[in-house]
Structure formats: C-alpha cells, structure tokens
Amino acid sequence: MSYHSLQKHCYTIRGMHCASCEVLIERKWKKIPGVHKVSVNHATGRAEVFAEREPSLDALQQPIQEKGYTVTPQSNDDGQAIHHRATTRDYKEIGIVFFVIVSLYLILKRLDVLPEVGVTENMGYGLVFLIGLVAALSTCIAVTGGLLMAVAAKYNERNPNLTGAQRLRPHLYFNIGRIVSYTVLGGAIGGLGSVITLSTKTTGFVMIIASLVMIILGFQLLKLFPGLKRFQPKMPKFIAHKIHDWSNADNKAAPFFLGGSTFFLPCGFTQALQLYVLSQGDVTTGALTMFFFSLGTLPALMSLSAISSFARGSFQRYFMKFAGVLVILLGFSNISNGLALTGNSISFSGDEEVKGTTSEIASDDPNVVLEDGKQIVEMTVNGLSYSPSRFRVKQGIPVEWRIDGRRSQGCAQVVTVPKLGLTKFLSGQQVTTVTFTPEEAGTLEFSCSMGMTTRGAAFIVEPNDDVPDSAPANPKAPTPTPSPTPTPQGCDPTVQQCITAQKISMEVTREKGFYPNSFTVKKDVPVELTVDTKVKLGGCMGTMVIPDYDVAERLPLGKTTLAFTPTETGSVVVTCSMGSPLAEISVIN
C-alpha cells in the first residue's frame, strides 16, 4: 500500500530521553492493526503515524504506558510544553545529590581510600563498570531489554517443555554474546584508533567530544536543557529495527548473536565509550573498557523483571538524579584529559590549582629538599597516580627528580615534561633519576605520554632574585647548532678507538605502519635505532619504548634515534607507551 493513500496523524509523547525510546515506541505502534509506518523523534517529542484510519489514544497509550510514556494529540504550541520543566523541588534534589557525591569523593580522597581500579587507562575500569550500571538502568534497558525478552519468548515458545533452569539459557546466551561482542569490537575500535594515527591534539578533541556526549546524557537524565537532545550523535535507527527483526529467527544461536549485535544499538553511553576507546588508540584498552562496560549492564539484564519493577516511581526519580549528576561529573572530569592533550591545563578534579602569579606562591615546600646545591624531589608512581604530584622549586637551581616507578602501570611507565622536551622511561627495578635546571619562572607540567595520569601534576618554578631574567630573544641571533647524535652506551668518547654502533632503522607510514619491525643485532655492541616518522602519531603510538633498557623517546615528525647496548642474548621488544608491541630485536652472540 502506498503511503500517499494512508492518513497521517501527529502526536506528542512525553517521557522520552534518548534514541532508544524512539525505537521502542516505533516497534510497539507498528504492531497496532492498520498502522503501516511510525516515525518518532525524542528531541522534539513528536510522532507521526501513517495508518489506514486514525488509531484511538487508548490503542497508542496501552503498549507504551508501562515504560512511562504518555501520548496526546499534537498541540499547536511551540513545542516547549512537551519537555519536563524542572521545579524548585527538582533543583533542590539535584543540589543535594551533587553535594553528597562530591563530599563523598573528597572525604575518600582525603582518607586515601579511593580504590585504584584502573589498569591502563585514565577513566578507570571501576568507573566504566559504574557507567554500565547507570546505562542499563536508564537507557540501554529500554531497547536491549526488550530485545532480550523477545528472543527469550521465542526460544521458550519453540521449546514449551523446558524446566525453569533451561528457560534461563537464552538469557545466558544473550549476555555471553553481548560480553564477547563488546570485548572484541572494543578492541577493534582501539586498534582502529592506532591505525589511523590520530595526532595528540586530535586525540584530545575526540576525548572532549566523547565527554560532551556524556554530559548531554547526564542533562537528559536530569531533564534539564532539553534542547541539547538535538546534538546527541546516534546510529541510524534502521540498524536497531533490523536487529529486532532478527529476534524472530527460529535459530538456537539467535540469542548469542542478538546479544552481540546490541553493540550497534542506539545507546548514548555505548557511543560515548566507543569514541573514548577510539581516542585511546590501543587494542587492550579498547577491549577491557567495553568488557567492563558490558559487565556493568549484566546485573540489570539478568534480573530484568526485578529491575523493571524498581525502575518506576520514587526509585526511578531519585536514581535518575543520582545517575545524571554522576555522569555529568564524569564527563567534566574526562574533559580535562582531552584539554591536556590539546595543550590546555584546566582541571575539574579538585586538584590543587596555582593562584595568582608565581611571586605570590609560598617559597617553602616540604617535598623539596636543598642538598649539595641541588633541589631533591622524590615522587612515587602507583598505577596511574603520582604522589606527591606538585612541587615548588626555585628558578636556576638544578633539580634532581627521583621517581619510584616500580608500581607504575600502562602509560605511567613513561613520564614526559613537554616544555623541557623531556621523556623518560621509569625503571621497574629501581628508582629513576631525572635531572634538569628550570631556567624560567612559571609552570612545568608533567604527565604520562598520553595525559592520563594525575591531573594538575607540575613543577611550580618560583622566581629567584639571584638568577637574572632570561635575555630577550634576538631576532638576528644565529640558528642554534643541532645537537649531535648521542654517544652510544658503552662507548667512551675520551677513548680514540671506540666500538662502532650497530645502526638499524625503520619508517612509520600510513600504508605500512612501523616497518621493518624485525631486526637482528649482536650482543654487547651499542645499537642505534633510527625511526623516520612520516605521519603524525597520537595516543600511545606517539612514544617508543624499549622497556628492557629503560629507553623512551617521543616520535615527532622526522628522525628520532633510540640508543642502547644489548647485554643479553634473546629477544628485545620495542613497544608503545602502553606496552603494545611495535617491533622485535633479536640479540645474538
């Protein structure tokens, strides 16, 4: 039947907050006799129904009422009435929730009992799991839960004599498929992020976009700023409808594959994490992030009927406010990581900020000890955290920075100070010492190579009256002479005869990646690995590490040399800052 011969009827729907709501309502209404096409838009709260005759309001309301939606004939107002208007009570409750969450965070942080759940990423797998819990109870359960119930009903219809335990099989298969799919596809997206070689700034912008998606979702859960719904990215709805159509397939494997297909359903939380994983550019981080997210949704999906009964009334009211505030805080927290990668240093985490000019900062720092004309600074890296993370030092006096990185993880095994052009791999066996002299007053920020460690970490360089200010730049000054190639380890420059270094080289291109990536060298002979980087590298790929010999170097465009002396035969693995293998060097006698 042609749509031109059908009657078009328009309605207003209250209670929608995401694209999942659109899919659910469209599928419910298409089952009404005489209805041939339905188009729902959660951002405007409007629905268009093409039918042979106008369906009654009862016929439209009945299938969606239990989900909390209300349908009325479309009015001629400007559209503002369809959105929930926050009341004074709403604002008070949001304020109380915000105060409780922030206070609890500050107390736990002060007591140093916040769990270190993260392994190799800045968000922390514990937080990712929590996001999964929030997503399952707020948005994902609308469509994913409906799909699970449909495939379970089909399975039980096909097998009417099943026991109670056997009826759980489709639920188990569905969730196993979901976890496997999220893990594998999360790793694939992380791998894609490394292949397309995002620059550091681009990586930061992607992280900011993902964080903004989270913030928009939070505002939607709080029913604030409804106009922001228009800016939420979403997958085409036909994908979701196609996946739901598969739920009617008469196949024993259907629950497993349908569970896996939910990776592509329109859930804003899933899409935000997909963007986040892409920005990380690491297979392991991508796989583990999506794995923990899918685990977070598991409790709600495995106890769907119980959760559905709780997800209404006063429980839903207060849970949505808690979830909304938490998601917004997480979004702002992660924005600071993206800003750090784009060259900014704004922090939303409550870490110590520098107030005023450097001359207004107190000169004494208990974490800095003056000894033999050097400023001694000691720092411990635990996982991805620095302790302490901020130091006040004097301009013009050498700094000896002793870093205990034996418990560092992921990219925190590499520390970088961008303003000094300094990158150092932290030994896993002993304290690593870094020396430098701060020539100018100001702030020297430091972090891991991906900007994922303690926010606000920095050296605050106080002005020293005994050190003259740096002379202004002379536009006619000659171009500085490039620094000579570092002397290979094991080669004494005072000796006339010196062992010639073994020179090996590779290129980094978009077509071949790191190539060649396999070399053979001799033991006890210095090695110089020259890397010619022809594309901008982002994420962990922007730093090359030889962990066995505590070597780390940033990889800007052009040629970079890594020097070391192999002292044992066997295999030497060259990695990115997150530990992903890039090349292998075989050492022979």
Determine the Cα–Cα distance for residues 575 and 578; give it in Å rounded to an integer. Answer: 7
Instruction: Output b/e per residue, 383-398; b: 16+ Cβ within 10 A.
Output: bbbbebbbbbbbbbbe
Determine the Cα–Cα distance for residues 207 and 280; give it in Å rounded to an integer. Answer: 9
Q: Domains plus CATH for the chain?
A: 3-82 (3.30.70.100), 124-158+167-341 (no CATH), 361-462 (2.60.40.420), 502-588 (2.60.40.420)
Low-confidence ranges of the chain (pLDDT < 70): 1-4, 17-20, 75-86, 105, 108-124, 137-167, 194-204, 206-207, 210, 217, 221, 225-252, 265-268, 302-317, 319-320, 323, 330-331, 333-334, 336-363, 466-499, 539
CA distances from 324 to 97, 117, 122, 145, 269 (A): 10, 22, 21, 21, 12
CA distances from 326 to 99, 100, 121 (A): 11, 11, 19
Residue with tokens 């060097």: 585
Residue of 482, 576, 476 whose CA lies nearest to 533: 576
Give the chain's end-to-end CA distance (angstroms, integer).
Answer: 80
Output the pLDDT for position 315. 59
Which tokens in the block code for residue 97? 């929730």
Output the pLDDT for position 301. 72
Residues 6 or more apart whose Cβ sits within 8 Å of residue 263: 178, 181, 182, 185, 270, 290
Determine the Cα–Cα distance for residues 542 and 556; give it in Å rounded to an integer. Answer: 7
Output the pLDDT for position 317. 66
Residue of 577, 356, 289, 300 whose CA lies nearest to 450: 577
Which tokens in the block code for residue 425? 């791999």
Q: Contact, 420 vs 444, CB < 8 A? A: yes
Rounded to two decimals, the pTM is 0.45
Which tokens in the block code for residue 208? 């900011």
Output the pLDDT for position 453. 82
Amino acid symbol at 472: P
Residues 6 or more apart whose Cβ sits within 8 Å of residue 95: none
H-run or E-run covering 285: helix 283-302
Determine the Cα–Cα distance for residues 186 and 284; give it in Å rounded to an integer. Answer: 9
Bridge partners (DSSP) listed for residue 458: 390, 445
